[in-house]
Amino acid sequence: MNAGRKGPILVTGAAGQVGAVGRTVTGLLLDRGFAVRALVRRDDDRAAALRAAGAEVVVGDLLEPADVDRAVRGTRRVYFGMSVSAGYLEATATLAAVAREAGVEALVNMSQMTVSEMDIHHTTPSHQQRQHWLGEQVLAWSGLPVVTVRPTIFLETFVPLAGPSVRDRGRIELPFGQGKTNPVSAADVARVVATVLADPGPHLGRVYELTGPRSQDMHDIAREFSAVLNREVGYTDIAPEDWAAGLKQAGVSEHVAQHLVTMGELHRAGRYDRLANGVEFVTGRPATSVREFAALRADEFGGIRRS
Ligand SMILES: NC(=O)c1ccc[n+]([C@@H]2O[C@H](COP(=O)([O-])OP(=O)(O)OC[C@H]3O[C@@H](n4cnc5c(N)ncnc54)[C@H](OP(=O)(O)O)[C@@H]3O)[C@@H](O)[C@H]2O)c1
């Protein structure tokens, strides 16, 4: 069924900053012939690129009910995702209120895999993760037809977190201890979201946990980068408090820093040693490996991009 006949698909967070899931979803849906309404926070060159690709761009704030209403009205299917930020739960509840009134037929909600391990007595200190846990409940109470994606850490997150140190010193410097991790490509997450939005019926009510294909410790991940970049890359397990101080010094917001520090602690405790087959289950294609990602983005780690 082509949603273009029934109104566009709304994609929020469509400009993209870290994983840019919304931007990739927009492109994938346009390629498949769907009409897409892309919600962005500001009318900049990223918005112009979305327009040039064929999206209807709406500028608005997900924390402003009137803006959300303007974005949702007339759409039938929605992808909801936005930057890790203090207002995440408020935005989720606002979207839920508007989507209920509008009567959308499917809402794909971005969450996090850590939520799979959370209940009232087992949350984490990350306010972002707690807000995803609560946001999922708000959406469940809303009665909306929801599909939830719960990815583990994005491979793309390694670009800002490890790109500069790999480039400059040949080291991945993170406080992940000996913990294993299995990062998923945000591009794969976007393929899952676009597949669901193209034909939501079979997916309604489901929760998809998304990881990469293999759980590895950071020494092993450093070896993958070495192989791709053709030079020595090692792993330095930095002290969590030094990492926290560095994030503060770099001007990272308190909310994001608190989330990242928790994510580091959970890695150290082995809680990111995960494997789930959501990417292949939904898209029919295996998830991108660390080595494939490093090759695709090699230039950002001081190598040569092989595309
Ligand atoms: N990074 C990870 O490792 C990871 C792992 C699992 C789950 N997640 C989840 O993935 C989501 C982030 O996805 P992503 O990385 O694809 O996002 P992203 O690239 O950071 O893009 C999010 C977009 O949301 C926009 N935005 C922020 N606040 C807004 C507001 N109030 N109103 C309207 N737009 C707003 C931003 O606009 P501007 O660019 O103009 O500021 C940005 O372009 C979060 O829910 C996070 O918890 C992330």
Distance 227 CA to ligand 1 centre (A): 31
Angle at Cα 282 formed by Cα 207 and Cα 140, nearest 5°?
A: 20
- Domain count of the chain? 1
CATH number for the domain harbouring residue 31: 3.40.50.720
Per-residue pLDDT of the chain (307 residues; tens, 9 = 90+): 444 447 999 999 999 999 999 999 999 999 999 999 999 999 999 999 999 999 999 999 999 999 999 999 999 999 999 999 999 999 999 999 999 999 999 999 999 999 999 999 999 999 999 999 999 999 999 999 999 999 999 999 999 999 999 999 999 999 999 999 999 999 999 999 999 999 999 999 999 999 999 999 999 999 999 999 999 999 999 999 999 999 999 999 999 999 999 999 999 999 999 999 999 999 999 999 999 999 999 999 999 776 5
The reply to whether 76 falls in a domain is yes
264 CB near ligand 1 (under 6 Å): no
The reply to whether 50 falls in a domain is yes
What is the pLDDT, as a whole number, of residue 51? 98
| 64-70-76-78 Cα dihedral, nearest 10 degrees | -30
Burial class of residue 61, CB neighbours in 10 A (0-12, 13-18, 19+): middle
Distance 229 CA to ligand 1 centre (A): 29
The reply to whether 264 falls in a domain is no
135 CB near ligand 1 (under 6 Å): no
| Spatial distance between the Cα atoms of 47 and 56, rounded to a whole number of angstroms | 10
What is the pLDDT, as a whole number, of residue 5? 43
Q: Which two tokens stand for residue 223?
A: 């070896």
The reply to whether 145 falls in a domain is yes
Identify the domain containing residue 204 by its residue range: 3-153+184-210+275-285
110 CB near ligand 1 (under 6 Å): yes
Distance 20 CA to ligand 1 centre (A): 7
Q: How many residues does the chain have?
A: 307
| Spatial distance between the Cα atoms of 85 and 245, rounded to a whole number of angstroms | 19
The reply to whether 198 falls in a domain is yes
Strands of the sheet containing 77-80, edge to edge, are 56-59, 36-40, 9-11, 77-80, 106-110, 146-151, 207-210
pTM: 0.97
The reply to whether 57 falls in a domain is yes
